[in-house]
Structure 1
Amino acid sequence: MFKEFNLENFENSKNILEEKINKSKEQIESLLKIENKTYENFVKPYQEVGESLNDFLTPIFHIDSVKNTKITQKVLEECLPIISLYETELSQNVFIYRALKDIHSNSYTSLNDIQLKVLENEIRDFELSGCHLENNKKERLKELNIKLSELSQKFSQNLLNATNSFEMIIDDFEDVKEIPKSDLELAKFEEEGKTKYKFTLQMPSYLAYITYGSNRQKREEIYKAYTTRAPENEEIINEILKLKDEKVKLLGFNSYAQYSLSRKMANSEEEVISFLEELAKKGKNKAKEELKEVEELALKLDGLKELKSFDISYYSEKLKKAKYDLDEEYYRPYFEQKSVLEGFFTFLKEIFNIEFKEVEALKWDEKVKVYNILEEEKTIARIYLDLEARKDKRGGAWMNNWHTHFTDSKNIKHLPTAYIVCNFPQSSETTPSLLRHSDVVTLFHEMGHALHHLLSKVEEPNVSGIAGVAWDVVEFPSQFLEYFAYAKDVLKFFAKHYETKEVLDDEAINRIINAKNFQSSLAMIRQIEFALFDFKLHQKLYTNAQEIQALLDSIRAEYSPILPPSYNKFQNGFSHIFGGGYAAGYYSYKWAEVLSADAFYMFIDSNNLFNKELALKYKHTILEKGGSQNMDKLFFNFAQREPSVDSLLKIDGIIS
């Protein structure tokens, strides 16, 4: 039923890939020889060729992110140019392009809306890939795509290497006395009969020191190491920007931002900039007030007259505790990973009528958990959960889709699979993985992405699940599910002390809920700073590090309540846009958040967060439809109105 995650012949991936690509080319050649091409005899099998190749490739990219070694790097480096070349050649194949256009015009009245959507997306993508260009320009585009793919991989690898190369050793307990016990246990080691503590740039370890480290110099040391990682990425950024600019100019666009929007829900560059600036203006003064509170506390507690960037997390945590009596360490025993998962699955069954059943399957690490998802006792999908931090694992959290739900041209049904990857605190022989509430929120977020892919009922692979979903709305289902991680009745499903089994009491849960909007304006301004920097960076060509820094500085001067030190080179670690797919699209987080907040507000307005009728309507109108229709139409079908930006500002406590 499901293809197993099997990497037995991994080191031979390059040769296998070449064989598979040759087979794909032969299949496409035979499809092109069909005289009377139709949707059924051409478009459907053409989609399946891509799906088959993706099934093979996804684990190669995935394993390099979760079990990074010299071998995975080598295999990926061998495969990247081959797949980039194949995809570029395919996307510029004028015969496929013409065939799709002919089928679209000849069969327009007989095709259903989903089939038309597949064709329209494909035709658009062929045009965005330069299929209409002269041969010399196509060749150049091919070179650019291969080079950009390699640079993106190099950017990510540099960042991972820099993250793994730093260690801060502390041997004075005074410098770690405020750090939560579970974090301290993970940091502790013995050397020459003395207890010492090691902190790294892995996110759980970095956060532990920057948030609770008593020694200000040590906080700056780890902050500086984090914000100056991979200085060699400066040159890679310059090269990426130059090549992207050349690429989009070849395709007839004025800028990469304009090119990026051709695949998104937002209509124009002006619309994106004005949307971000409107939010920034509405949150700017509140953010200044929030920062002032932190400054006043730092002055009161430690006589600190000038708050620096590396002080904010430390004093914010103290302020949060003072205002809400919220101690992360108090909560962590109540968010034991296994208990959280079990309760989360119970909640999802309650609202969406789906069940998670753990199964034995091949996996890449012993701590990975594999579940089949059942609907009315019938298996519909599979999910892999890799939740704990490891040294050989890329930082952050993400969902990756592997297989897609569809019915093929032989009428065989294919079931979807996906991975969720996080970097939660590690479990050890003596301590289970105890999560922060923010980790719980992350889990809900990534599961939102996964369910968008796994609950699809669309039969065409290119618009099923997250395939074909516009980038600026792909975060909608993930952010929507996040909101439930702050609901009292949802938390009670799993917030149980891992030793005593005592359920977290109402007062403690209320403190989490009340603290939800703590520094929400500061957080929003930070996101907008990133989004404006990303979008403006791609509106024209910036040719050197000084220009790029000047752009970032100008945005910070306009909106940020505190300026970071000059050594902070945030851009060199901005992997979302230089190592991932968010270039000129980081605004998507806020754009999609408007939809998610508005959808969640419907549950609030119904006075029942477990409103099953509403939840199932959301499941049927949003999750099951995948990319088969534009999200603005799907949202309207769900809400029966246009989305409102005020729901987001209300939920974040920025307006009342």
Structure 2
Amino acid sequence: MFNEFNLENFENSKIELETLLNSSRKKIDELLVIEEKSYENFVKPYQEIGESINEFITPIFHIDSVKNSEITQKVYEDCLPLISDYETEISQNDNIYTSLKDIQDKSYTSLNDIQKKVLENEIRDFKLSGCHLDNNKKSRLKELNLRLSELSHKFSQNLLNATNSYEMIIEDFEDVKEIPQSDLELAKFEEEGKTKYKFTLQMPSYIAYITYGTNRKKREEIYKAYTTRAPENGKLIEEILKLKDEEVKILGFDNYASYSLATKMANSEEEVVYFLEELAKKGEHRALEEIEEIKEFAKKDGINDIKSYDLSYYSEKLKKAKYDLDEEYYRPFLEQNSVLNGFFNFLYEVFNIKFTQTNAKTWDDKVKVFNISEDDKIIARIYIDLEARSDKRGGAWMNNWHSYYIDKNGKEQLPTAYIVCNFPPSTQNTVSLLRHSDVVTLFHEMGHALHHLLSNVSEPFVSGISGVAWDVVEFPSQFLEYFAYDKEVLKLFSKHYKTAEVLSDEAIDRIIAAKNFQSSLSMLRQVEFALFDFMLHQKLYTNEDEIQKLLDGIREKYSVIKPPKYNKFQNGFSHIFAGGYAAGYYSYKWAEVLSADAFYMFIDSGKVLNRELAVKYKNIVLKNGGSKNMDELFFEFANRKPSVDSLLKIDGIIS
């Protein structure tokens, strides 16, 4: 039913990949000699060839992110040029492109809407890959694609190496006296008969000190280490930008931003910049009030010149004072297994899907695997890897492995996906206790996963998240996040890990009341990142100084508190330099308009756990995957266009 995660022959992956790619080339050549090509005899098997390659290569690239070692790096680097060359070669193949065009022209009236969408997307992507260009330009594009893939991987590896190379050792208990007990236990070690505490740049550890560390100098020390990681990435960024600019100029675009928008829902560069600037204008006044509130609070400690490394510390204290909200109080109620089981109960309540743990092979003992069923029929499988490790890339993400589709023999292929997070690790002596923000992250990544796993689209290239425009791919993930603040939902899993006591209504009310704490500051921060990303790709910035000037200019205009000059945020901006968000980071806010508006339908219905509405959302938005444009699906679900005011209301920025 499902392919097992099996990397026993991992070190020979290059040889196996070469064999697979050569076989795929042969199969495509066989397809191309068919005289009367049709959707069934050409497009369908062509998609399946692509799926088989994705199914083979995904675990190889995935393992380098979650179990990084010299071996995984070598195998990744061995396989990367092979897959890059193959993908470029296929995407520039005039014969495939012409065949797809011919099928579209001859069979258009007999094709269904999903088949038409597959052809539209593929023909568009062939054009964007330069299949219409001469051989010299195609050859250069091939070189550029390979080098950009290498740089992206190097950027990510540098960041992981820098994260793992730093540690801050503290011996004086006064410097850690405010650190929550569960974090302190993870940091504590004995050396030469003395108790000491180690803090690293791995996210749970870094957050613990920057949020609760009493010693201001130590807070700056770890903040500086975090914001100056991987300085060598500065030169990689220069090369990435130069090569991307060359690539899109060959393809006939003015800049990388316009190239990026060719596959997104936004219509123009001006529309994106206007959208972000409008959000900033609407949130600026409130953000200034929020920062003044922190400054006034810090003055009680004699801090009259609040700095970036003070913000988390004093924000946490202010939140506790305003809402009587102490994150540490909640963590015993948010034990990882309890959260996961309660989360599954919620998903059954609203979407009628059931999670059953299975003993499938994984890459780490802490990874859990679940089969997902609907009406007693198994429809998907998910791998969940939640805890931070030193050999694991930071952050949180969903990775799709298999897609749902009906193959050329009429057989149903079931989807699989991975969810990866970096939550506080469990040990022999300590359980993994989450922050509420961790719970929100879990909901977010599951939103992505369900978008992929609940698809029932028969064509793989538009099934699940495949074929979904990048600036709306965050819609389902952000939509699911909102449920993590609902009282009924929280009561499903917020049980004390020792006493089984359920979190009180009063305690939950404090979480809900604090939801929009500093929401305008948060929005301006996202706008700053998004504008920096988008403007960086609107023209060629040739060196680190120019890039820094652009970022400084955006900060001057939109940041209510300026970070120190040593802060080199861009060197760690893996979303755009080692991920798929280049000239697309704005997508988080763009899609949030859809997610906020969709969630308001549940609020307006008077019942957040509204199964009827949730099943409608599942059947229209999730099950259709990328087979229709998201604006069409949203309209079908809501019977109206989305409004940006819903986002501003749900964030408490306007009433």
Q: Place the TM-score, normalised by the shorter chain, in its bin.
A: over 0.9
Amino acid in the other structure paired with 1:483:
Y
Q: 2:232 aligns to what? A: 232
List aligned pairs for 1:4-153, cutoff 5 A.
4-153=4-153
* Distance in 1 between residues matched to 2:617 and 2:487, nearest whole Å: 21
Q: 2:250 aligns to what? A: 250
Deviation track 1:144-188 (CA, whole Å, cap 9, x = no partner) reads 000000000000000000000000000000000000000000000
Q: 1:562 aligns to what? A: 561
Q: 1:407 aligns to what? A: 406
- Tell me the secondary structure at the aligned position of residue 421 of structure 2: strand
Deviation track 1:432-475 (CA, whole Å, cap 9, x = no partner) reads 11000000000000000000000001000000000000000000
Aligned pair 1:543/2:521, yes or no? no
Aligned pair 1:483/2:482, yes or no? yes
Note the C-alpha offset of 1:285.
1.2
Q: 1:288 aligns to what? A: 288
* Distance in 2 between residues matched to 1:39 and 1:180, nearest whole Å: 60
Note the C-alpha offset of 1:49.
0.1
Q: 2:310 aligns to what? A: 311
* Distance in 2 between residues matched to 1:119 and 1:489, nearest whole Å: 44
Amino acid in the other structure paired with 1:496:
K
Q: 1:634 aligns to what? A: 633
List aligned pairs for 1:301-380, cutoff 5 A.
302-380=301-379
Deviation track 1:98-143 (CA, whole Å, cap 9, x = no partner) reads 0000000000000000000000000000000000001100000000
* Distance in 2 between residues matched to 1:339 and 1:209, nearest whole Å: 26
* Distance in 1 between residues matched to 2:433 and 2:65, nearest whole Å: 23
- Tell me the secondary structure at the aligned position of residue 109 of structure 2: coil
Note the C-alpha offset of 1:610.
1.3
List runs of 5+ in structure 1 lacking aligned partners: none
Amino acid in the other structure paired with 1:26:
K
* Distance in 2 between residues matched to 1:184 and 1:160, nearest whole Å: 23
List aligned pairs for 1:483-522, cutoff 5 A.
483-522=482-521
Deviation track 1:291-322 (CA, whole Å, cap 9, x = no partner) reads 1000001002x111100000000000000000
Note the C-alpha offset of 1:543.
0.4
Note the C-alpha offset of 1:630.
0.3
* Distance in 2 between residues matched to 1:428 and 1:158, nearest whole Å: 28
Q: 1:197 aligns to what? A: 197
* Distance in 2 between residues matched to 1:152 and 1:344, nearest whole Å: 34
- Tell me the secondary structure at the aligned position of residue 385 of structure 1: strand
* Distance in 2 between residues matched to 1:369 and 1:485, nearest whole Å: 21
Amino acid in the other structure paired with 1:315:
Y
List runs of 5+ in structure 2 lacking aligned partners: none
Q: 1:260 aligns to what? A: 260
* Distance in 2 between residues matched to 1:542 and 1:242, nearest whole Å: 8
Deviation track 1:208-248 (CA, whole Å, cap 9, x = no partner) reads 00000000000000000000000000000000000000000
- Tell me the secondary structure at the aligned position of residue 391 of structure 1: coil
Amino acid in the other structure paired with 1:143:
E
Q: 2:609 aligns to what? A: 610
* Distance in 1 between residues matched to 2:212 and 2:431, nearest whole Å: 21
- Tell me the secondary structure at the aligned position of residue 382 of structure 1: strand
* Distance in 2 between residues matched to 1:560 and 1:629, nearest whole Å: 38
Question: What TM-score results when the alignment is normalised by the length of structure 2?
Answer: 1.00
Deviation track 1:304-359 (CA, whole Å, cap 9, x = no partner) reads 11000000000000000000111111000000011101111011001111000000
Note the C-alpha offset of 1:411.
1.1
- Tell me the secondary structure at the aligned position of residue 108 of structure 1: helix
* Distance in 2 between residues matched to 1:108 and 1:286, nearest whole Å: 53
* Distance in 2 between residues matched to 1:89 and 1:21, nearest whole Å: 11
* Distance in 2 between residues matched to 1:188 and 1:588, nearest whole Å: 40
Deviation track 1:359-378 (CA, whole Å, cap 9, x = no partner) reads 01000001100000000001
* Distance in 2 between residues matched to 1:194 and 1:444, nearest whole Å: 41
* Distance in 2 between residues matched to 1:622 and 1:637, nearest whole Å: 9
* Distance in 2 between residues matched to 1:281 and 1:552, nearest whole Å: 18
* Distance in 2 between residues matched to 1:368 and 1:612, nearest whole Å: 30
* Distance in 2 between residues matched to 1:579 and 1:262, nearest whole Å: 20
Amino acid in the other structure paired with 1:262:
A
Note the C-alpha offset of 1:37.
0.2
- Tell me the secondary structure at the aligned position of residue 221 of structure 2: helix
* Distance in 2 between residues matched to 1:431 and 1:250, nearest whole Å: 56
Note the C-alpha offset of 1:612.
1.3
* Distance in 2 between residues matched to 1:97 and 1:249, nearest whole Å: 21
Note the C-alpha offset of 1:410.
1.1
* Distance in 2 between residues matched to 1:304 and 1:358, nearest whole Å: 51
* Distance in 2 between residues matched to 1:61 and 1:141, nearest whole Å: 22
- Tell me the secondary structure at the aligned position of residue 87 of structure 1: helix
Q: 2:587 aligns to what? A: 588
Q: 1:576 aligns to what? A: 575
Deviation track 1:603-632 (CA, whole Å, cap 9, x = no partner) reads 000000011111111001100000000000
Q: 1:274 aligns to what? A: 274
Note the C-alpha offset of 1:201.
0.2
Aligned pair 1:654/2:640, yes or no? no
Note the C-alpha offset of 1:430.
1.6
Amino acid in the other structure paired with 1:275:
F
Q: 1:599 aligns to what? A: 598
* Distance in 2 between residues matched to 1:260 and 1:292, nearest whole Å: 38
Amino acid in the other structure paired with 1:356:
F
Deviation track 1:255-298 (CA, whole Å, cap 9, x = no partner) reads 00000000000000000000000000000111111010000010
* Distance in 2 between residues matched to 1:337 and 1:421, nearest whole Å: 14
Note the C-alpha offset of 1:429.
1.1
* Distance in 2 between residues matched to 1:655 and 1:224, nearest whole Å: 35
- Tell me the secondary structure at the aligned position of residue 622 of structure 1: helix
Q: 2:622 aligns to what? A: 623
* Distance in 2 between residues matched to 1:401 and 1:559, nearest whole Å: 35
Tell me how many residue pairs correspond in the alignment.
655
Note the C-alpha offset of 1:41.
0.1
* Distance in 1 between residues matched to 2:178 and 2:460, nearest whole Å: 51
Amino acid in the other structure paired with 1:561:
V
List aligned pairs for 1:454-465, cutoff 5 A.
454-465=453-464
- Tell me the secondary structure at the aligned position of residue 110 of structure 2: coil
Structure 1 segments of 4+ aligned residues over 2 angstroms from their partners: none
Amino acid in the other structure paired with 1:219:
R
- Tell me the secondary structure at the aligned position of residue 108 of structure 2: coil
Deviation track 1:362-421 (CA, whole Å, cap 9, x = no partner) reads 000011000000000010000000000000000000000000000100111100000000
* Distance in 2 between residues matched to 1:149 and 1:632, nearest whole Å: 31
* Distance in 1 between residues matched to 2:284 and 2:548, nearest whole Å: 22
* Distance in 2 between residues matched to 1:293 and 1:151, nearest whole Å: 42
* Distance in 2 between residues matched to 1:187 and 1:174, nearest whole Å: 15
Deviation track 1:482-526 (CA, whole Å, cap 9, x = no partner) reads 000000000000000000000000000000000000000000000
- Tell me the secondary structure at the aligned position of residue 88 of structure 1: helix
Amino acid in the other structure paired with 1:506:
D
Amino acid in the other structure paired with 2:238:
N
